[in-house]
A and B are shown apart, each in its own frame.
Chain A
Amino acid sequence: MKQLEVLYFGSLRAQRGTGHEAIHTTAESPRALYLELSRQHGFSLPVERILFAVDDDYTEVDAPLPERGTLAIMPPLAGG
Protein backbone atom coordinates (compact mmCIF):
# COMPACT_ATOMS: atom_id res chain seq x y z
CA MET A 1 0.00 0.00 0.00
CA LYS A 2 1.16 3.48 -0.82
CA GLN A 3 1.23 5.91 2.10
CA LEU A 4 0.59 9.44 0.89
CA GLU A 5 -0.11 12.78 2.50
CA VAL A 6 -2.85 14.31 0.35
CA LEU A 7 -3.07 18.12 0.21
CA TYR A 8 -6.30 19.86 -0.82
CA PHE A 9 -6.66 23.44 -2.02
CA GLY A 10 -9.35 25.98 -2.85
CA SER A 11 -12.83 24.56 -3.39
CA LEU A 12 -11.57 20.99 -2.85
CA ARG A 13 -10.22 21.92 0.56
CA ALA A 14 -13.61 23.43 1.40
CA GLN A 15 -15.48 20.34 0.12
CA ARG A 16 -13.20 17.94 2.01
CA GLY A 17 -13.26 20.07 5.17
CA THR A 18 -9.51 19.79 5.66
CA GLY A 19 -6.32 20.84 3.93
CA HIS A 20 -4.51 17.54 4.30
CA GLU A 21 -4.95 13.91 5.28
CA ALA A 22 -2.84 10.77 5.40
CA ILE A 23 -4.15 8.02 3.17
CA HIS A 24 -3.30 4.42 2.28
CA THR A 25 -4.09 3.49 -1.28
CA THR A 26 -3.39 1.03 -4.05
CA ALA A 27 -4.19 3.66 -6.72
CA GLU A 28 -1.54 3.70 -9.44
CA SER A 29 -2.00 7.27 -10.69
CA PRO A 30 -3.30 10.68 -9.57
CA ARG A 31 -6.32 10.06 -11.83
CA ALA A 32 -7.18 6.77 -10.09
CA LEU A 33 -6.72 8.25 -6.63
CA TYR A 34 -8.82 11.33 -7.42
CA LEU A 35 -11.66 9.14 -8.72
CA GLU A 36 -11.42 7.03 -5.55
CA LEU A 37 -11.51 10.14 -3.33
CA SER A 38 -14.32 11.68 -5.39
CA ARG A 39 -16.48 8.61 -4.74
CA GLN A 40 -15.78 8.92 -1.01
CA HIS A 41 -16.19 12.67 -0.66
CA GLY A 42 -18.40 13.73 -3.54
CA PHE A 43 -15.97 16.12 -5.24
CA SER A 44 -17.84 17.89 -8.01
CA LEU A 45 -14.97 18.77 -10.37
CA PRO A 46 -14.17 16.28 -13.15
CA VAL A 47 -10.63 14.91 -13.10
CA GLU A 48 -9.89 16.63 -16.42
CA ARG A 49 -9.91 20.00 -14.61
CA ILE A 50 -7.75 18.95 -11.66
CA LEU A 51 -4.01 19.64 -11.38
CA PHE A 52 -1.68 17.38 -9.39
CA ALA A 53 1.72 17.77 -7.80
CA VAL A 54 3.95 15.17 -6.15
CA ASP A 55 6.37 16.48 -3.52
CA ASP A 56 5.80 20.11 -4.60
CA ASP A 57 6.23 19.68 -8.36
CA TYR A 58 3.50 19.37 -10.97
CA THR A 59 2.89 15.85 -12.23
CA GLU A 60 0.75 14.35 -14.98
CA VAL A 61 -2.67 12.89 -14.25
CA ASP A 62 -1.53 9.44 -15.40
CA ALA A 63 2.01 9.51 -13.97
CA PRO A 64 2.85 6.75 -11.47
CA LEU A 65 2.26 7.63 -7.81
CA PRO A 66 5.22 7.21 -5.46
CA GLU A 67 5.09 4.76 -2.54
CA ARG A 68 5.60 7.62 -0.06
CA GLY A 69 5.32 11.38 -0.30
CA THR A 70 2.80 14.18 -0.72
CA LEU A 71 0.20 14.45 -3.46
CA ALA A 72 -1.37 17.87 -3.95
CA ILE A 73 -4.83 17.91 -5.54
CA MET A 74 -5.64 21.31 -7.03
CA PRO A 75 -8.80 22.80 -8.56
CA PRO A 76 -8.44 25.22 -11.51
CA LEU A 77 -6.01 28.03 -10.71
CA ALA A 78 -7.40 31.51 -10.12
CA GLY A 79 -4.46 33.77 -9.41
CA GLY A 80 -3.84 37.23 -10.80
Chain B
Amino acid sequence: MTPFQLSAAPIDPASLRATLEDPTAGALVTFEGWVRNHHQGRAVERLGYSAYEPLALKEGARILAEALERFPLAQAQAVHRIGDLAIGDCAVWVGVASSHRQEAFAACSWIIDAIKGRVPVWKEEFYADGSVAWVDPTAEPSPAADRRSE
Protein backbone atom coordinates (compact mmCIF):
# COMPACT_ATOMS: atom_id res chain seq x y z
CA MET B 1 0.00 0.00 0.00
CA THR B 2 1.21 3.52 -0.82
CA PRO B 3 2.50 5.04 2.43
CA PHE B 4 0.97 8.49 1.89
CA GLN B 5 -2.46 8.89 0.37
CA LEU B 6 -5.00 11.56 -0.43
CA SER B 7 -8.51 10.19 -0.06
CA ALA B 8 -11.79 11.54 -1.39
CA ALA B 9 -13.57 8.79 0.59
CA PRO B 10 -13.98 8.67 4.39
CA ILE B 11 -10.88 7.52 6.28
CA ASP B 12 -11.24 4.09 7.88
CA PRO B 13 -8.84 3.99 10.87
CA ALA B 14 -9.38 0.28 11.53
CA SER B 15 -8.24 -0.82 8.07
CA LEU B 16 -5.31 1.62 8.14
CA ARG B 17 -4.23 0.31 11.53
CA ALA B 18 -4.14 -3.21 10.09
CA THR B 19 -1.59 -2.13 7.46
CA LEU B 20 0.91 -1.32 10.24
CA GLU B 21 0.90 -4.74 11.88
CA ASP B 22 4.49 -5.92 12.18
CA PRO B 23 5.99 -8.68 14.32
CA THR B 24 8.96 -6.46 15.28
CA ALA B 25 6.70 -3.71 16.63
CA GLY B 26 5.85 -3.35 20.30
CA ALA B 27 4.11 -0.01 20.03
CA LEU B 28 1.52 1.59 17.76
CA VAL B 29 0.78 5.33 17.93
CA THR B 30 -1.90 6.86 15.75
CA PHE B 31 -3.13 10.41 15.37
CA GLU B 32 -6.53 11.40 13.99
CA GLY B 33 -7.24 15.01 13.12
CA TRP B 34 -11.01 15.61 13.35
CA VAL B 35 -13.20 18.34 11.97
CA ARG B 36 -14.29 20.47 14.94
CA ASN B 37 -17.35 22.69 15.14
CA HIS B 38 -15.50 25.90 15.98
CA HIS B 39 -12.53 27.93 14.77
CA GLN B 40 -11.30 31.14 16.41
CA GLY B 41 -14.61 31.51 18.19
CA ARG B 42 -16.79 30.98 15.12
CA ALA B 43 -19.27 28.13 14.72
CA VAL B 44 -18.19 25.87 11.85
CA GLU B 45 -20.76 23.75 9.98
CA ARG B 46 -18.56 21.91 7.47
CA LEU B 47 -15.38 22.32 5.49
CA GLY B 48 -13.73 21.51 2.22
CA TYR B 49 -10.15 20.35 1.67
CA SER B 50 -8.41 20.70 -1.66
CA ALA B 51 -4.88 19.68 -2.62
CA TYR B 52 -2.26 20.18 -5.28
CA GLU B 53 -2.34 16.45 -5.74
CA PRO B 54 0.90 15.61 -7.60
CA LEU B 55 3.03 17.65 -5.18
CA ALA B 56 1.02 16.59 -2.11
CA LEU B 57 1.59 12.92 -2.89
CA LYS B 58 5.32 13.47 -3.50
CA GLU B 59 5.81 15.59 -0.39
CA GLY B 60 3.78 13.22 1.80
CA ALA B 61 5.86 10.27 0.60
CA ARG B 62 9.06 12.25 1.28
CA ILE B 63 7.90 13.02 4.82
CA LEU B 64 7.23 9.37 5.59
CA ALA B 65 10.58 8.35 4.06
CA GLU B 66 12.33 10.98 6.20
CA ALA B 67 10.50 9.73 9.31
CA LEU B 68 11.78 6.22 8.63
CA GLU B 69 15.32 7.63 8.49
CA ARG B 70 14.99 9.86 11.57
CA PHE B 71 13.26 7.35 13.85
CA PRO B 72 13.70 3.60 14.31
CA LEU B 73 10.26 2.71 12.96
CA ALA B 74 8.89 -0.56 11.70
CA GLN B 75 6.04 1.06 9.73
CA ALA B 76 4.61 4.49 8.94
CA GLN B 77 1.45 5.50 7.08
CA ALA B 78 -0.56 8.69 6.63
CA VAL B 79 -3.75 9.72 4.82
CA HIS B 80 -5.20 13.20 4.24
CA ARG B 81 -8.82 13.69 3.24
CA ILE B 82 -9.82 15.90 0.35
CA GLY B 83 -13.35 17.00 -0.57
CA ASP B 84 -16.28 17.95 1.64
CA LEU B 85 -16.13 17.01 5.33
CA ALA B 86 -18.68 17.22 8.14
CA ILE B 87 -18.13 17.88 11.84
CA GLY B 88 -16.49 14.86 13.44
CA ASP B 89 -15.05 13.48 10.21
CA CYS B 90 -11.44 12.35 10.24
CA ALA B 91 -9.45 14.86 8.16
CA VAL B 92 -5.99 13.35 8.59
CA TRP B 93 -4.70 10.07 9.96
CA VAL B 94 -1.11 9.19 10.90
CA GLY B 95 0.05 5.84 12.23
CA VAL B 96 3.48 4.55 13.18
CA ALA B 97 4.61 1.23 14.59
CA SER B 98 7.91 0.82 16.37
CA SER B 99 9.74 -1.48 18.77
CA HIS B 100 9.15 0.91 21.68
CA ARG B 101 6.67 3.62 22.52
CA GLN B 102 8.98 6.63 22.90
CA GLU B 103 10.06 6.72 19.26
CA ALA B 104 6.52 5.93 18.11
CA PHE B 105 5.11 8.97 19.97
CA ALA B 106 7.96 11.19 18.73
CA ALA B 107 7.67 10.03 15.12
CA CYS B 108 3.89 10.40 14.99
CA SER B 109 4.14 13.95 16.33
CA TRP B 110 6.95 14.81 13.88
CA ILE B 111 4.97 13.44 10.92
CA ILE B 112 1.76 15.38 11.62
CA ASP B 113 3.76 18.58 12.10
CA ALA B 114 5.57 17.97 8.80
CA ILE B 115 2.30 17.25 6.98
CA LYS B 116 0.79 20.50 8.23
CA GLY B 117 3.90 22.45 7.28
CA ARG B 118 4.79 20.92 3.93
CA VAL B 119 1.91 19.11 2.19
CA PRO B 120 0.02 21.46 -0.16
CA VAL B 121 -3.54 21.20 1.14
CA TRP B 122 -6.03 24.04 1.71
CA LYS B 123 -9.08 24.26 3.94
CA GLU B 124 -12.21 26.25 3.26
CA GLU B 125 -14.47 26.69 6.29
CA PHE B 126 -18.23 27.13 6.03
CA TYR B 127 -19.65 28.90 9.08
CA ALA B 128 -23.04 28.70 10.77
CA ASP B 129 -23.73 32.35 9.83
CA GLY B 130 -23.46 31.47 6.13
CA SER B 131 -20.03 32.99 5.55
CA VAL B 132 -17.08 31.12 4.07
CA ALA B 133 -13.33 31.60 4.55
CA TRP B 134 -10.06 30.04 3.45
CA VAL B 135 -8.10 29.15 6.56
CA ASP B 136 -4.70 30.84 6.72
CA PRO B 137 -2.58 29.62 9.65
CA THR B 138 0.00 32.33 8.89
CA ALA B 139 -2.50 35.17 9.37
CA GLU B 140 -2.55 37.17 12.59
CA PRO B 141 -5.49 36.08 14.73
CA SER B 142 -8.10 38.81 14.93
CA PRO B 143 -8.50 40.68 18.25
CA ALA B 144 -12.10 39.41 18.43
CA ALA B 145 -10.90 35.83 18.13
CA ASP B 146 -8.34 36.46 20.87
CA ARG B 147 -11.02 37.71 23.22
CA ARG B 148 -13.14 34.67 22.63
CA SER B 149 -10.04 32.52 23.24
CA GLU B 150 -10.65 29.19 21.55
User: Which residues on A are within 8 Å of B, measured CB to CB?
Assistant: 7, 9-11, 14, 49, 51, 53, 56-58, 72, 74-80
Contacts and interface: CB of A to CB of B under 8 A. Distances in A.
23 contacts: A7-B52, A9-B122, A10-B134, A14-B134, A49-B138, A53-B55, A56-B55, A57-B58, A58-B55, A74-B120, A75-B122, A75-B136, A77-B116, A77-B118, A77-B120, A77-B137, A78-B123, A79-B51, A79-B80, A79-B92, A79-B119, A79-B121, A79-B123
Given A7-B52, A9-B50, A56-B55, A76 B119 contact: no
B105 interface: no
A74 B59 CA distance: 14
Main secondary structure, interface of B, reads: mixed
B136 A76 contact: yes
Contacts, number: 71
